[in-house]
């Protein structure tokens, strides 16, 4: 994508976000106030959910949010099913307000929610239509929670179709999802993982460019990009091919280039073979602006992983400012 095209799409998404904020004017204004910083750091509740399931730890939600506030995180990404049941429906206003206000009491913004997309590439058009309807509800929920983004995970079976046919179906569904995201002032970010049927750098480019909408971009997760570029510890090579302008937001984690728990192994930053500073430097130099979620998926101590991830981001920011000053 050329720079001129990128600036044009960024402007369109900015307008969509402004429209979404206007539509949600009845919510607290601080939930929508843009940060003056180029990068904002969040933690994902998925790390705590998976640690409970895999390592039998226990994380009271108030303890997690208190930790996030104390450590200086600005936001959280929600995951369906944790800590207490599924997401509220878009019309459950009291539950939505309660969830939004809970995070707000700890000065945390719910910047995104995670959503599945296995039905988005199903060969049955009725199943895909049902997915679009569900996504509309998720997007409305994300907006009402004060979100800026919505994550999309297209894992699951091909149901007997070819990869090309499934990709065409996925792109068609995500065109609808992108329009819905834009209507709600959101940027949708689709994440491909090595165990998914869609699991290559070329496929991510194909999907994002096929949708061709400013509110649909890709997710950068170094652990997945590492395996998608040969497991050499150089995921920035994949990021360079994709282009920073195609990234919606970031899931930051280290890895050792193996599979663990049905996806790329996630490790605290500095404990794997990935050169995390290189990825962050490329994001900075490429003009990335937005959220970096510290992804502690399937780590035994997500508190430690979140701390180390945030420290890596702060060091990268210091290095970038030092280079600019020099």
pLDDT one-digit tens code per residue, 72-94: 999 999 999 999 999 999 999 99
At a CB cut-off of 8 Å and minimum separation 6, what does 73 contact? 41, 42, 43, 108, 294, 306, 310
Q: pLDDT value at position 210?
A: 98
pLDDT one-digit tens code per residue, 14-62: 555 444 444 333 333 233 334 447 999 999 999 999 999 999 999 999 9
Q: Are 266 and 253 in contact (CB under 8 A)?
A: yes
- The CATH number that domain 36-321 falls under is 3.20.20.150
Of 13 and 204, the structure prediction assigns the larger pLDDT to: 204
pLDDT one-digit tens code per residue, 216-226: 999 999 999 99
Q: Which pTM value belongs to this model? A: 0.90
As a whole number of angstroms, the distance between CA 140 and CA 146 comes to: 10
Counting residues of the chain whose pLDDT is more than 70, the rounded percentage is 89
Q: How confident is the model at residue 147 (pLDDT cuts 50, 70, 90)?
A: very high
Q: How confident is the model at residue 321 (pLDDT cuts 50, 70, 90)?
A: confident
Spell out the domain ranges in the chain. Answer: 36-321
């Amino acid at each position: 994508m050329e720079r001129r095209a990128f600036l044009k799409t960024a402007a369109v998404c900015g307008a969509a976000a402004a429209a979404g904020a206007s539509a949600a004017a009845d919510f607290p204004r601080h939930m929508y106030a843009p940060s003056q910083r180029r990068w904002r750091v969040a933690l994902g509740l998925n790390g705590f959910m998976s640690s409970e399931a895999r390592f039998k730890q226990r994380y009271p939600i108030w303890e997690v949010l208190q930790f996030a506030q104390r450590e200086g995180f600005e936001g959280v990404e929600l995951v369906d099913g944790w800590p207490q049941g599924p997401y509220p429906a878009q019309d459950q206003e009291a539950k939505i307000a309660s969830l939004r206000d809970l995070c707000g009491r700890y000065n945390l913004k719910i910047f995104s929610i995670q959503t599945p997309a296995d039905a988005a590439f199903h060969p049955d058009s009725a199943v895909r239509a049902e997915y679009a309807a569900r996504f509309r509800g998720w997007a409305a929920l994300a907006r009402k929670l004060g979100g800026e983004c919505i994550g999309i995970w297209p894992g699951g079976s091909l149901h007997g179709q070819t990869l090309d046919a499934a990709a065409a179906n996925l792109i068609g569904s995500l065109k609808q999802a992108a329009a819905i995201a834009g209507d709600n002032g959101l940027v949708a970010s689709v994440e491909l993982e090595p165990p998914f049927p869609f699991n290559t750098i070329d496929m991510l480019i194909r999907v994002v460019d096929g949708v061709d909408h400013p509110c649909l971009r890709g997710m950068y997760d170094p652990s997945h990009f590492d395996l998608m570029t040969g497991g050499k510890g150089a995921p920035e090579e994949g990021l360079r091919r994709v282009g920073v302008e195609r990234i919606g937001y970031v899931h930051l984690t280290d890895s050792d280039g193996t599979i663990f728990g049905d996806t790329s192994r996630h490790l605290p930053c500095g404990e794997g073979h990935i050169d995390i500073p290189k990825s962050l430097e490329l994001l900075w130099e490429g003009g990335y602006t937005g959220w970096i979620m510290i992804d502690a998926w399937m780590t035994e101590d997500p508190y430690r992983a979140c701390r180390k991830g945030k420290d890596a981001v702060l060091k990268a920011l210091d290095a970038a400012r030092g280079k600019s000053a020099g």
